[in-house]
Every structure is written in C-alpha cells, then in structure tokens.
Amino acid sequence: MALDIDKIIQMHFTADDYCREEVQKVQIYLHHTAGSPSAINTARYWQNDGSKVSTAFIIAGNVKSANEKDGDIIQCFSSKYWAYHLGLKSETFNSMKLPYKKLDSISIGIEICNWGQLTKCPDGSFVNYVNSKVPLNEITELEKPFKGFSFYHKYTDAQIAALKDLLIYLCNAFQINRVYNPDIFDISKRALAGENGIFTHNSVRKDKWDMYPCPRMIAMLSSLGA
C-alpha cells in the first residue's frame, strides 16, 4: 500500500527546532525513542527543549489517545531539511580510519516510539530502563541477546507497516538505496563513510540499542529491495 501523505500528522516545528538548510539526502537512520508510545508528546518535548535535536518523522506506538493511534506518522519538519539526531563521536570515525563526516545533515531520521531493552523480574514481569512495567503481550524475546539484552519492547505491526510505506516513499523521493544489509545493527564503516542506504543508530554509535534486530522488522526491511 502506498503512503498516503495526507494522513501524516504535521507538528510544524519552527526554525529554532531544526536546521532550515536544504541538503541532498543519501541516508536514512532508524531510531527508537526509548520512551512512551505517543509520537505527539515526543515531538512536543523536542519543541520545548531548546535544542535542534529531533528527527523528521516519528511513528506512534499503541497509544491511547484521541489525537493519534498506533502506526500514525508524525512529521516535525520537511525531510529536505535536517536536525541533529545521531550524536556522532570523532573517536568512532577514527576507529574506522575515516575522516569525520557530518552525517546528520545528509540523512533523514525516523523514530519509532518504543521503550527498547527490557529486564525480566523474578516474578516474570518485565520492566523498562525507568523501572516501569511493560505488558507481557508487548515483549519480544530474541534468540540471541543483543548488546546484553534478550528481551525488548515489541515494535507493533502497525508501526512496521507504516515504516515500510514511509521508507519506500523516502527512498523513491531521494534515490536512497533500500537494499537491506545485516551490518546495520553494529558499527558500520559504510554508514560512517556516508554510503547511500538505510542504517540504524547502532551503525554509528556503540552505546545505542536502536533499532534492535527484531526478526519481524528485519523481514520488512529485507522485503524493500525485492
């Protein structure tokens, strides 16, 4: 199903919230918020934090709200502009023997509302990093631990479907390579060098867990190049 751009919820960020500079896009970075399911609340937080840290798009989770629903896409600013969303570190480039590259400006950031890594409690419940319980039907258990955690907050079916439509739209609009590469869940020399393609925050930061290698997400990403 093609993306219906008329259904994207616009947040209308001001020039104080992002960098109003047109730069050719060659990369997309996938993040998760490590926060609540509300994409609108995430966007409002960015509007009030006095920085230019944000992403162009946020995809809502299983939120209970009249203003948004699971899988809704929120747009903060036009994808032809940019904001800081990667937190790049010079030592990461140095470790790969690459010069520092301003990847924030040549990439589009997409956030998925998701708590990320979870801890299993002795009573069988699961808590996120702020010690709040996550419902049992929202748990993903990985066959192999990722960065020390076997349990993660589940990306919803609606989020994955919305992300697929958005990725196809953006890749077509900006001529970005949408072939899936399994190296995107670890530091990637390709990403750091500014290679055209889809990556995750893990691709440029050792200290991040977003996105985690969810089998359902990987299946969707793998289908993009078909």
For residue 104, the domain's CATH number is 3.40.80.10
Q: What is the pLDDT of residue 136?
A: 97
**Token pair 């076997």: residue:** 150
Is residue 61 located within the same domain as residue 91?
yes
Establish if 1 belongs to a structural domain.
Answer: no
Average of per-residue pLDDT values in the chain: 96
Q: Provide mean pLDDT across the span 181-191.
A: 97
Same domain, 24 and 129: no
Q: What is the pLDDT of residue 16?
A: 93
Confidence of residue 57 (pLDDT cuts 50, 70, 90): very high
Structural domain contains residue 186: yes
Pick the range with the lowest mean pLDDT from 61-70, 164-173, 187-196, 201-210.
61-70
**Token pair for 42:** 């995430």
Cα distances from 161 to residues 71, 76, 192, in angstroms, run 8, 20, 28
- Residues 167 and 200 occupy one common structural domain: yes
**Host domain of residue 142:** 117-152
- Provide the token pair at 43: 């966007």
pLDDT at 1 > cutoff 80:
no
Is the residue at 12 inside a domain? yes
Least Cα distance to 35 among 26, 48, 24, 44 occurs for 44
Residue 209 resides in a domain? yes
The answer, yes or no, to whether residue 138 has pLDDT greater than 70, is yes
pLDDT score of 22 more than 90: yes
Residues 143 and 191 in one domain: no
Same domain, 42 and 89: yes
Asked if 83 and 26 sit in the same domain, the reply is yes
- 97-134 pLDDT per residue, tens: 999 999 999 999 999 999 999 999 999 999 999 999 99
Pair 80, 126 in one domain: no
Mean pLDDT of 63-86: 96
More confident residue, 16 or 226: 16
Q: Look at residue 72 and tell me if it is in a domain.
A: yes
Q: Quick one: 109 and 124 in the same domain?
A: no
- Both 92 and 19 in a single domain? yes
pLDDT score for 66 = 86
Average pLDDT score over residue span 6-13: 95
pLDDT of 226 above 70: no
- Are 184 and 214 in the same domain? yes
SS3 of the chain: CCCCHHHCEECCCCCCCCECCCCCCCEEEEEECCCCCCHHHHHHHHHHCCCCECCCEEECCCCCCCCCCCCCEEECCCCCCECECCCCCHHHHHHCCCCCCCCCCCEEEEEECCCCEEEECCCCCEECCCCCEECHHHEEEEEEEECCEEEEECCCHHHHHHHHHHHHHHHHHHCCCCCCCHHHHCCCHHHHCCCCEEEEHHHCCCCCCCCCCCHHHHHHHHHCCC
- What predicted TM-score, i.e. pTM, was given to this entire model? 0.97
Task: Say yes or no: 81 and 172 in one domain.
Answer: yes
Q: Are 97 and 121 found together in one domain?
A: no
Has residue 2 been placed in a domain? no
* Total domain count, the chain: 2
**Overall average pLDDT of the 205-226 stretch:** 95
